[in-house]
Amino acid sequence: MSAGTVTETTTIRHFQHLDQQTQDRLFLHPSQPFDDGTDREVLATALGATLYIPATRADLAATIARRACEGVCSMVLDLEDAVADDEVEQAMANAVAALDELAGTLAANMLLFVRVRTADGIGAIAASLRGGVDALTGFVLPKFTRETGAGFLDEVAAASARLGKHLYAMPVLESPELVHRQSRDTELHAIGELLAAHRDRILAVRIGATDMCSTFGIRRDRDLTIYDVRVVVDVIADVVNYLGRSDGSGFVITGPVWEYFADHERMFRPMLRATPFAEHDAVLFRQQLVSRDLDGLLREISLDRANGIQGKTVIHPSHVAAVHALSAVTHEEYHDAVDILGGETVGGVQASGYRNKMNEIRPHRNWAAHTLRRAQVFGVTNKGVTFVDLLTALVQR
């Protein structure tokens, strides 16, 4: 598995915070390093759990450096929903100061983005940055619509030219125009054409499910995943249909945020089977995950993957390990993917090396290509290693 365009000095790599003995025990093929010069599709896959943090934090640079040491590989400095209206200017200055402080150091071994409020905020940040451009990967564009999108993307292009660096954009789809059924197709078609015109600039498309729920006055309970909220999952399905195709026209679509991280009284049974944990002598660990509502998160991540979504927005550091543990490619997945891509393009079918399924060469080819991109940046586990082993190692580190 190639390291792409990454140089030897690159230090962004998933799971590198684990000690070498643990990495050797868990991985057949270790994750490969990447940076913001890596191939766009590979880099989008490498986002993993993207942690949002209010840009108002007084210790912003130190927090970014600490999270990097904990295994976070992508973060967003938030100037939008996480910041009060009267604190925006202070938050912007704080974000610029943090980027300048981190530039040229190894303290922020991650991809860093700024979520602005409006398009002109991009130019304001570009004008204020000194060396901080070295630490900046791009911008998150909130409430992206066919009306606002062109202005956002033009500002990102202008900032890139001004700063002499290719900066990425990650639009967030969350607006009422997208949620409302009668305008959705028109909106998605126009957004698709706009993103296609700026393809090299678009790293990934993010889904803002919280704002979508707000359109209907809904807040999902922690006993439910976003896929139980039908009016929102219908939007997600259409976003993937329009923008997530594997024919060369699509983009990586990232999963919406999971809001919960503390104990609560449950109405329904936990969404995490006991058997995989009992087999790994980790029953107590399962109870800890359930008590912190991480069973719901794990279920939602699995449903994200089943619905063509990669990576996830997260708002709490405890969620990062869950996303990354389920992002690593298993020994079985890897060998199926290699067999499929090594097969004849004329089609056909063959038994999996695990003798538990049939691999169809043509229909499974796109899945195999996606899987090997994920294997490059998240690694391939040793035979018999499961997400329980990975999650245990990440959480108990």
* pLDDT at residue 349, as a whole number: 86
H helices, E strands: number in the chain: 17, 12
Strands 358-360 and 349-351: antiparallel
* pLDDT at residue 48, as a whole number: 98
Concatenated DSSP letters of 103-144: TTSSS--SEEEEE-SSTHHHHHHHHH-SGGGGG--EEEETT-
- State the helix-helix crossing angle for 88-102 and 120-128, rounded to 10 degrees: 40
Return the closest-CA partner of residue 375 out of 340, 327, 307.
327
Counting Cα atoms < 13 Å in the Cβ hemisphere of 378 gives 30
The rounded distance, in Å, linking the Cα atoms of 87 and 77 is: 14
User: Of how many residues is the chain composed?
Assistant: 397
Whether 48 and 16 have beta carbons less than 8 Å apart is answered as no
* pLDDT at residue 120, as a whole number: 96
Rounded to the nearest 5 percent, the helix, strand and coil shares of the chain are 45, 15, 40
Count the neighbouring beta carbons within 10 Å of the beta carbon of residue 73.
27
* pLDDT at residue 267, as a whole number: 46
The rounded distance, in Å, linking the Cα atoms of 337 and 331 is: 10
The rounded distance, in Å, linking the Cα atoms of 293 and 396 is: 17
Please name the fold of domain 40-327.
Answer: TIM Barrel (3.20.20)
How does pLDDT run across 253-301, given as a tens digit for each residue?
Answer: 999 999 887 655 544 445 555 556 555 545 444 455 544 557 788 889 9
The rounded distance, in Å, linking the Cα atoms of 171 and 148 is: 11
Whether 101 and 63 have beta carbons less than 8 Å apart is answered as no
- Provide the 3-class DSSP secondary structure of residue 32: coil
* pLDDT at residue 344, as a whole number: 64
Residue indicated by tokens 């799971």 = 15
- State the helix-helix crossing angle for 120-128 and 149-163, rounded to 10 degrees: 10
End-to-end CA distance of the chain: 27
Task: Write down the domain spans for the chain.
Answer: 40-327
* pLDDT at residue 275, as a whole number: 55
Q: Rounded to 5 degrees, what are φ and ψ at 122? A: -65, -45
Can you list the residues of the chain whose pLDDT is less than 70?
1-10, 106-108, 262-293, 343-347, 397
CA angle 27, 35, 21 (to 5 degrees): 25
Residue 23's contacts (CB-CB under 8 Å, 6 or more residues apart) are 15, 16, 30
How does pLDDT run across 2-32, given as a tens digit for each residue?
Answer: 333 333 344 799 999 999 999 999 999 999 9
* pLDDT at residue 355, as a whole number: 83
* pLDDT at residue 283, as a whole number: 44
